[in-house]
Amino acid sequence: MEYINVQSGADEMNRMLEFTSGGRQVPVIVENGKITIGHGGT
């Protein structure tokens, strides 16, 4: 597992935004190619 702090820099924020199609929701969990966004898992 890799933890990325999106507040630590623009590169980290941009990486998260790629997974969320521009949405600013956390957490973003990527596991075996499946992306889970937010606590509700949408």
Q: What is the pLDDT along the chain (42 residues), one digit of tens a residue?
A: 678 889 999 999 999 999 999 998 888 988 888 988 888 755
Asked whether residue 17 is domain-assigned, the answer is yes
Please report the pLDDT score of residue 41 as a whole number: 55
For residue 33, is it within any domain?
Answer: yes
Please report the pLDDT score of residue 13 as a whole number. 93
The answer as to whether 26 is a domain residue is: yes
Residue 29 lies in a domain: yes
Residue 16, burial from CB neighbour count under 10 angstroms (0-12, 13-18, 19+): buried
Domain-embedded: residue 15 = yes
31 occurs within a structural domain? yes
**Residue 5: which residues within 8 A CB-CB, separation 6 or more?**
12
Closest CA to 26 of 2, 6, 8, 9: 6
pTM above 0.75, yes or no: no
Give pLDDT, residue 12: 92
Query: Is 42 among the domain residues?
Result: no
| The pLDDT value given to residue 42 | 56
Tally of domains in the chain: 1
What type of residue is 9? G
Q: Is residue 1 part of a domain?
A: no
Give the range of the structural domain holding residue 13, as residue numbers without chain letter. 6-37
